[in-house]
Amino acid sequence: MIKTDTLIDPVEKRGVLTYLFLTFLKIGCVSFGGHMALIAVVEKEMIEKDGRLSSEELLNAVSIASLLPGPLAVNVVAYIGYHLQRKSGLAVSMLGVLLPACMLMYVLSWCYFNYIHVKGLSGIMVYTVAAVSAIILSTGLNIFLKEVKGNYSKMTLCLLAIVLLFFVKGYFIILLLMLIGGASGIAFKLGKGNSSGADAGFKWKKLSFSARAGLAVLTLLYLSFISGIYKFADQILVKIISVFSGVSLSLFGGGYVMIPIMQSLFVTELKWLSNQEFIDSIAFSQLTPGPILVSAFFTGYKLAGIAGALLATTAIFLPSAILMIITAKLFKENVDSLLMKHALAGIKPVVVGMILISAIKLFLSVASTPLSIALSLAAFVLSFRFKFNPVYLILMALILGILLHFNTNF
């Protein structure tokens, strides 16, 4: 197990916090291509390069985050930060990974509402996404070789996830696969350990006061959202907190699943944005190296300037991260449970399948030109065979996209 701050002196603690902030700041600058892209870069940077995290811990984080509401990638970052340095680690990790996307969204929002044209830039991202798909595939194969290869039951679960997710979309198919994986792990005893060295059952330990208080606040925020009480608030900032917190706790299946719901809420019901403004906010979020829900910054900025933008961004990411940590604590309490070990051992191959199919779909979405295909293949070889730093691969692809875009348009 990796140490937490319970046994770390202040100097070492500052070192860990600095490492977390700078590492996730770097990762946040290049996390184009969805949540699996961020997971891939975390695996390369924090596991392969720095040895600060184990593959098992990362898979546990993805497994838990996949079952909960909220943006998966940011919830995984929150988990890692808390795992390494508790609450302060969570705070600096989330700040680091979101800062680049928020800063770019601030520039785009300011330009947009001051009538400066910033549209038509999506062509820049084609080659970046091609490189990202290769990095995700490399990561998925590395984890497959470590965690799945050699066990036919795990390989079957992984293949099942790839096939089903290729043809069927939606959160419920992911949930179904997780349930199948967990049940198969228990049925076929896929976890390591034996009854003499581990607890057979599952322990429901009483939550700490801070965890209960956190759950109470989250419950109140969610009830305020679904009941519509926030509509009676006079202050727009209060409405922003309530609405975006509610969206955060309702977000099952990723940001793309929530786009039509947010469009109905922000455009039709609340009339905070015009339909074109909403579409543009989603387009801008695709230009940033972060989750699609960073579009909350755009909406908050229109409603209440920079204060509204910061509140909206905090409200859409923090509640689900808190829920992630509370749930993770329950899992940690059962780290020696044979039932938990078997269930997680069955879920992990499903997660590996999710990573691999994400890479395949991402590649197919941009494999439209010989150059993008060649770039993706080169990036895969450099990442998988030569362990080339993914940050540099993504930056080179981004620079190539910028040069080709402006050379074509000017």
pLDDT, tens only, 59-75: 989 988 988 888 899 99
Q: What is the mean pLDDT of residues 81-94?
A: 94
State percent of the chain over pLDDT 90.
Answer: 45
Of 199-203, 205-209, 247-251, which gets the smallest average pLDDT? 199-203
Q: What is the mean pLDDT of residues 9-26?
A: 88
pLDDT for residue 32: 80
Q: What is the mean pLDDT of residues 121-129?
A: 73
**pTM exceeds cut of 0.85:** no
| Residue 30 or 171, more confident | 30
Confidence of residue 4 (pLDDT cuts 50, 70, 90): very low
Confidence of residue 2 (pLDDT cuts 50, 70, 90): very low
Confidence of residue 330 (pLDDT cuts 50, 70, 90): confident
- What is the helix (H) or strand (E) element at residue 86, kind and residue range? helix 72-113
Confidence of residue 25 (pLDDT cuts 50, 70, 90): very high
Q: What is the mean pLDDT of residues 252-264?
A: 69
Whether the per-residue pLDDT at 169 is higher than 80: the answer is: no
pLDDT for residue 29: 92
Whether the per-residue pLDDT at 310 is higher than 70: the answer is: yes
* Dist CA 165 CA 64 (whole Å): 19
Give the pair of three-digit tokens for residue 153: 């039951």
Of 168-177, 207-216, 268-277, which gets the smallest average pLDDT? 168-177
pLDDT for residue 3: 43
pLDDT tens, position by position, 340-384? 888 888 988 998 998 899 889 889 888 778 999 999 999 999 999
- Assign 3-class secondary structure to the chain: CCCCHHHCCHHHHHHHHHHHHHHHHHHHHHCCCCHHHHHHHHHHHHHHHCCCCCHHHHHHHHHHHHHCCCCHHHHHHHHHHHHHHHHHHHHHHHHHHHHHHHHHHHHHHHHHHCCCCCCCCHHHHHHHHHHHHHHHHHHHHHHHHHHCCCCHHHHHHHHHHHHHHHHCCCHHHHHHHHHHHHHHHHHCCCCCCCCCCCECCCCCCCCCHHHHHHHHHHHHHHHHHHHCHHHHCCCHHHHHHHHHHHHHHHCCCCHHHHHHHHHHHHHHHCCCCCHHHHHHHHHHHHHCCCCHHHHHHHHHHHHHHHHHHHHHHHHHHHHHHHHHHHHHHHHHHCCCEHHHHHHHHHHHHHHHHHHHHHHHHHHHHHCCCHHHHHHHHHHHHHHHCCCCCHHHHHHHHHHHHHHHHHHHHC
pLDDT for residue 268: 86
Confidence of residue 334 (pLDDT cuts 50, 70, 90): low
State percent of the chain over pLDDT 70.
Answer: 88
